[in-house]
């Protein structure tokens, strides 16, 4: 692939911005990830633009559009065209990085090469416009051909400028299915402990991208061999080499876990649950009298560990709850459940989460069984029964009852804890017999029980 042969198709609004810059006597290029992705035949998420035009001039040039001062003192403005945001940044040279993340100052330059030299990896250090073509001072195209992640210049310097780049390199290698160039790999290994200086939010987002890639196992193995894993997720590192001493498991906990993650679809909650589903095993391991490994209650302990990790990485509360439930329930195998018991099961896992549980259980079985031994009929049978109950819209929760607290208060029942107790008991009856979920029927029962409570100390059916 010759650089002169590379032609990139840009959105019309991006072309418009570059044309305006050119008309005003300024240079302008698309730069970074959008160039890389275009060469790879991928659809860029963002179209970033760099220019020799200083920020004050950009305000004047784009005065007919909405302009957001995104990072004005660092040379970046956001121009809004057709409801889309486009970041335009002045060529710059970064000053000293005092915190391993941000430069203390930036110096504007009119040299594109200097701007590209400060970037992290060669495949992100290319620029393009239709007039000049592809600008590739640092060998990005060759590294794409070689499927290599390589730092621009000295990797130790690049990572010391911004320690997040170490994790970003692992993420890119995972997503693109590339290798880390030896010098880049060695530098990460040398500096890996500095990842603790990066905010957990940024670490979390990079981990999410790894988990959503085609083969997350590649990324987590890279995190391990570079040394990053022990600082980001030491609980998972404990699983490495932890032999299960169980005839159903031919891999250690870490490698089995990664097999399960790879066997699941690209759903963040599901893949987090897969990552944590056996994380409680090292803590609960015992050998029985026959020398077979047992992991009593590991799913409960694992759910607690998963919660701790996700809280540390500042995941939202709903995601934490959903993942913890999946980890806790992943060993559940239910057969011949009554409809009432299945409804309790649905409520415990959550309607929006329950299909994930079945997928996790199937992925877990597929990761431990030989192909001819895979038997997921029990899971599929339960899945069918659960789908029947949900599709029939059978009442499952208090919210599904045909009466509510206001109806009970009309019967003279005082507002407070008693109303909640009554509704829960009515739900128990409705779970057993959905035909009783009629307002008149429930009001009659509630009235009778309310009356009887006046002569008794409790309200029980």
Query: CATH no. for residue 272?
Result: 1.10.3210
- Same structural domain for residues 34 and 87? yes
User: Is residue 240 situated within a structural domain?
Assistant: no
pLDDT score recorded for residue 225: 98
- Of the pLDDT bands very low, low, confident and very high (cuts 50, 70, 90), residue 340 is confident
User: Is residue 460 situated within a structural domain?
Assistant: no
pLDDT score recorded for residue 459: 47
- Same structural domain for residues 386 and 290? yes
User: Is residue 9 situated within a structural domain?
Assistant: yes
pLDDT score recorded for residue 136: 96
Give the tens place of pLDDT for each residue, 172-208: 999 999 999 999 999 999 999 999 999 999 999 999 9
Across the range 247-259, mean pLDDT stands at 85
- Same structural domain for residues 389 and 256? yes
Q: Which of 2-16, 22-36, 160-174, 218-232 has the lowest mean pLDDT?
A: 2-16
User: Is residue 140 situated within a structural domain?
Assistant: yes
Domain end (from 125, 146, 167): 146
Domain end (from 179, 205, 232): 232
- Same structural domain for residues 15 and 76? yes
**In terms of DSSP bridges, do strands 84-90 and 49-51 run parallel, antiparallel, or are they unpaired?**
parallel
Q: Which of 20-29, 74-83, 260-269, 416-425 has the lowest mean pLDDT?
A: 416-425
Domain end (from 232, 265, 299): 232
Mean pLDDT, the chain, rounded, equals 90
Percent of the chain clearing pLDDT 70 (strictly above): 91
Give the tens place of pLDDT for each residue, 53-78: 999 999 999 999 999 988 888 889 99
User: Is residue 245 situated within a structural domain?
Assistant: no
pLDDT score recorded for residue 292: 73
User: Is residue 461 situated within a structural domain?
Assistant: no
User: Is residue 427 situated within a structural domain?
Assistant: yes
In contact, 241 and 248? CB cutoff 8 Å: no
pLDDT score recorded for residue 460: 45
- Of the pLDDT bands very low, low, confident and very high (cuts 50, 70, 90), residue 103 is low
- Same structural domain for residues 404 and 390? no
Across the range 354-373, mean pLDDT stands at 84
Q: Is the pLDDT score of 370 beyond 70?
A: no
- Same structural domain for residues 38 and 131? yes
User: Is residue 167 situated within a structural domain?
Assistant: yes
Across the range 19-35, mean pLDDT stands at 96
Q: Which domain holds residue 381?
A: 251-394
CATH number at residue 93: 3.30.460.10
Buried b (16+ CB within 10 A) or exposed e, 274-312: bbbbbbbbbeebeeeeeeebebeebbebbbebbbebbee
CATH number at residue 191: 1.10.110.30
Distance CA 424, CA 419 (A): 9
| Number of domains forming the structure of the chain | 4
- Same structural domain for residues 260 and 363? yes
In the structure encoding, which two tokens stand for residue 125, read together? 């250090």
Across the range 151-175, mean pLDDT stands at 96
Is the C-alpha dihedral spanning 164, 165, 166, 167 positive or negative? positive
- Of the pLDDT bands very low, low, confident and very high (cuts 50, 70, 90), residue 457 is very low
pTM beyond 0.75: the answer is yes
In degrees rounded to 5, what are phi and psi of residue 407? -65, -40
- Same structural domain for residues 72 and 169? no
Q: Is the pLDDT score of 88 beyond 70?
A: yes
Between these two residues, 377 and 265, which has the higher pLDDT value? 265
- Same structural domain for residues 134 and 155? no
- Same structural domain for residues 11 and 64? yes
pLDDT score recorded for residue 100: 57
- Same structural domain for residues 278 and 322? yes
Question: Three-state DSSP class for 50?
Answer: strand
Which residues contact residue 257 at a Cβ distance below 8 angstroms, ignoring those fewer than 6 apart?
236, 239, 274, 275, 277, 278, 279
- Same structural domain for residues 84 and 138? yes
Q: Is the pLDDT score of 369 beyond 90?
A: no
């Amino acid at each position: 692939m010759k650089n002169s042969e590379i032609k990139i198709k840009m959105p019309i609004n991006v072309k418009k911005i570059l044309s305006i810059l050119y008309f005003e006597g300024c240079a302008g290029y698309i730069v970074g990830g959008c160039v890389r992705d275009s060469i790879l035949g991928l659809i860029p998420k963002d179209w970033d633009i760099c220019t020799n035009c200083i920020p004050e001039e950009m305000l004047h040039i784009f005065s007919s559009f909405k302009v957001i001062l995104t990072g004005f003192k660092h040379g970046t403005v956001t121009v809004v065209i057709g409801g889309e945001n486009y970041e335009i940044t002045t060529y710059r040279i970064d000053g000293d990085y005092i915190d391993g993340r941000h430069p203390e100052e930036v110096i504007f330059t009119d040299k594109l090469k200097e701007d590209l030299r400060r970037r992290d990896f060669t495949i992100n250090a290319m620029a393009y416009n239709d007039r000049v073509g592809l600008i590739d001072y640092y060998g990005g195209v060759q590294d794409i051909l070689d499927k290599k992640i390589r730092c621009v210049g000295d990797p130790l310097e690049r990572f010391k400028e911004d320690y997040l780049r170490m994790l970003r390199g692992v993420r890119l290698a995972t997503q693109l299915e590339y290798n880390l160039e030896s010098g880049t790999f060695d530098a990460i290994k040398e500096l890996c402990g500095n990842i603790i200086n990066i905010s957990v939010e940024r670490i979390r987002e990079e981990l999410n991208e790894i988990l959503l890639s085609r083969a997350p196992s590649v990324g987590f193995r890279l995190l391990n061999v570079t040394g990053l894993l022990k600082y980001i997720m030491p609980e998972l590192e404990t699983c490495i080499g932890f032999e299960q001493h169980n005839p159903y498991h031919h891999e250690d906990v870490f490698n089995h876990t990664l097999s399960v993650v790879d066997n699941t679809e690209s759903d963040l909650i599901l893949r987090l649950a897969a990552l944590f589903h056996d994380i409680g095993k090292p803590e609960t391991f015992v050998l029985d009298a026959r020398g077979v490994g047992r992991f009593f209650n590991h799913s409960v302990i694992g759910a607690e560990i998963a919660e701790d990790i996700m809280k540390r990485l500042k995941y939202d509360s709903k995601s934490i709850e959903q993942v913890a439930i999946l980890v806790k329930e992943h060993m559940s195998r239910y057969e011949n459940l009554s409809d009432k018991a299945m409804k309790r099961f649905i409520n415990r896992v959550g309607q929006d989460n329950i299909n994930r549980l079945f997928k996790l259980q199937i992925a877990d079985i597929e990761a431990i069984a030989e192909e001819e031994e895979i038997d997921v009929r029990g899971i599929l049978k339960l899945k069918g029964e659960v789908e029947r109950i949900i599709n029939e819209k059978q009442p499952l929760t208090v919210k599904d009852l045909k009466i509510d607290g206001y109806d009970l208060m009309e019967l003279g029942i005082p507002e407070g804890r008693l109303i909640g107790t009554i509704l829960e008991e009515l739900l128990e009856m409705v779970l057993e017999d959905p035909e009783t979920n009629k307002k008149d029927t429930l009001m009659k029962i509630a009235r009778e029980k309310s009356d009887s409570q006046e002569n008794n100390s409790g309200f029980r059916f």
